Amino acid sequence: MIRVLICAGILLIASGCAGSERSSATPVAPAPRVRVLGVAQDGGVPHAGCSCDTCLAALVDPARRFHVASLAIILPPDANERKMGVFLIDATPDVTEQLHMLRDVRDAPDGRTDRAPVDGVFLTHAHIGHYTGLMHFGFEVMHAQRTPVWCTERMGEFLRTNAPWSQLVDKDEIRLPTLTIDDPLPLGSGVTITPVEVPHRNEFADTVGYVIAGPARTILYIPDTEPWDRWPEGMLKLEHLLRIHSVDVALLDATFYSLDELPNRHAASIGHPLIVSTMDRLQERSDAGLDVRFIHLNHTNPALDPGSDAQREIERRGFTVAREGAEIGL
Ligand SMILES: [Zn+2]
Ligand SMILES: [Zn+2]
Ligand SMILES: [Zn+2]
């Protein structure tokens, strides 16, 4: 059974097994899980230079701000470690606040800067919302110590050969272990992460999504992609990924809700799947139990507003918009 608990300000969504119940009397062993740290497109909300209603509302009401899309993978301590394992997927321009959103599982040393704030970062691609938060790992801020930043060979080459990122490598603040597409990497606690190839604008490097598989649940995370029907021959299609990885929860690119948001643009010129198209494509799977949550919403996307017709329609059809702070048990 799926249970929804509000716990210390965090919306916890977990199965009815160990880790889902919390009471003051019985401490429960923490279970591996994913926490949503942001749901917005690369520019966040408010968006720079924008005077749309969403951005103006966010300027005056912090509750209407949205961080750039990112996930944390949180693992219980293993036999040798006393602290929780914490990994980020993507280092966004909002990484400062997003690291503070992890203080309950990875608190900084008393009164000092944590130079190893996470056990690693997994990058999806070289667009500004997904990697530029690495600047905070550098000499001017955390001066991190050998943080592993897993990425593809091309992404690693981009970081190694372009300032200011190359300085992070030269100072050994980050290391760049190479990911192999479709090759699962064990993280501990029975959790693996597998990069999957995703088509997207690849000006500087290439793009991946991630399958995060745990003992209880498997999550597919694809924050940026070409529309699903434009995935090239030879690349595993969305439905194949869902099937071969037995995905339970899919967090998918929801940059735009519908064409109404993009006046004077033809569908063929839009480099993302529309939410309405994704719902049509996955309606049967959603009806059959696949949990689809939309993430990476542009500031123009009406579904950001919980009171909007767009969000009501998403929920009526059995889908949801990802929520910052929500946790998904693995
Ligand atoms: Zn993006
Ligand atoms: Zn705006
Ligand atoms: Zn992108």
pLDDT bracket for residue 81 (50, 70, 90): low
Give the domain CATH number at 299.
Answer: 3.60.15.10
Report, as an integer, the average pLDDT of 266-280.
Answer: 93
**Is residue 29 very low, low, confident or very high in pLDDT (cuts 50, 70, 90)?**
low
Answer whether residue 26 shows pLDDT above 70.
Answer: no
Q: Label residue 271 by pLDDT band (50, 70, 90).
A: very high
Determine the distance separating the centroid of ligand 2 and the alpha carbon of 57, expressed in angstroms. Answer: 9
**What is the percent of the chain where pLDDT is above 90?**
82
Residue 205, pLDDT > 50, answer: yes
pLDDT at 10: 42
Chain-centroid distance, C-alpha 122: 10
Residue 251 Cα, ligand 1 centroid: separation in angstroms?
13
CA atoms within 13 A on the CB side of 302: 16
Q: Which ligand sits nearest to residue 48's alpha carbon?
A: 2
pLDDT band at 220 (very low <50, low <70, confident <90, very high): very high
41 CA to middle of ligand 2, Å? 11
Q: At residue 205, what is the residue type?
A: A
pLDDT at position 83 is: 76
From the CA of 117, how far away is ligand 3's center (Å)? 25
Nearest ligand to the C-alpha of residue 127? 3
Cα 92 to averaged position of ligand 1 atoms, centre (Å): 10
pLDDT at 321 over 60: yes
Helix (H) or strand (E) holding 212: strand 208-213
CA 256 / ligand 3 centre spacing (Å): 13
DSSP letter string, 286-308: HHTT-EEEEE-B-TT-GGGSTTS
Distance from Cα 301 to the centre of ligand 1, integer Å: 14
**What's the confidence (pLDDT) of residue 6?**
38
Ligand sitting nearest the alpha carbon of 296: 1
Confidence of residue 35 (pLDDT cuts 50, 70, 90): very high
Centroid of ligand 1 to alpha carbon of 83 (angstroms): 31
Helix (H) or strand (E) holding 86, with range, is: strand 85-89
Higher pLDDT, 211 or 83: 211
Q: How far apart are the CA of 200 and the centre of ligand 1, in A?
A: 10
Taking the centre of ligand 3 as the mean of its atom positions, its distance from the CA of residue 54, in whole angstroms, is 22
- Ligand 1 centroid, distance to 69 Cα (angstroms): 8
Ligand 3 mean position, distance from CA 138 (Å): 23
Say how far apart CA 312 and CA 95 lie, in whole Å.
30
Are 254 and 303 spatial neighbours (Cβ–Cβ below 8 Å)?
A: yes
Which structure tokens are listed for 107? 């608190």
**Ligand 2 centre distance from Cα of residue 118 (Å):** 31
- Kindly state the DSSP code that residue 238 receives in the 8-state scheme: H
- CA 133/CA 247 separation, integer angstroms: 29
Q: What is the whole-number distance in angstroms between the Cα of residue 95 and the centre of ligand 2?
A: 21
pLDDT one-digit tens code per residue, 82-138: 678 999 999 999 999 999 999 999 866 778 889 999 999 999 999 999 999 999 999
**Ligand nearest 201 Cα, by number?**
3
- C-alpha distances out from residue 210 to 16, 71, 294, Å: 25, 11, 15
Type and span of the H or E element at 168: helix 165-170
In terms of residue numbers, what domain contains 98?
Answer: 2-329
Q: Ligand 3 centroid vs 134 CA: distance in angstroms?
A: 16
Q: What is the pLDDT of residue 22?
A: 38
Task: Give the count of domains, the chain.
Answer: 1
Q: Which of 205, 210, 202, 163 is nearest to 182 (CA)?
A: 210
Average pLDDT value over all residues in the chain: 90
**Which of 4-8, 42-46, 146-150, 225-229 is predicted least confidently?**
4-8
Of the bound ligands, which one is closest to the alpha carbon of residue 65?
Answer: 2
Task: Tell me the whole-structure pTM to 2 decimals.
Answer: 0.91
Reading the block at residue 177, the tokens are 């272990």
Stretch among 26-35, 38-47, 189-198, 199-208 having the lowest mean pLDDT? 26-35
Amino acid at 307: G
Identify the pLDDT of residue 25.
47
Which pLDDT belongs to residue 73?
Answer: 98
Q: Distance, CA 302 to ligand 2 centroid (Å)? A: 11
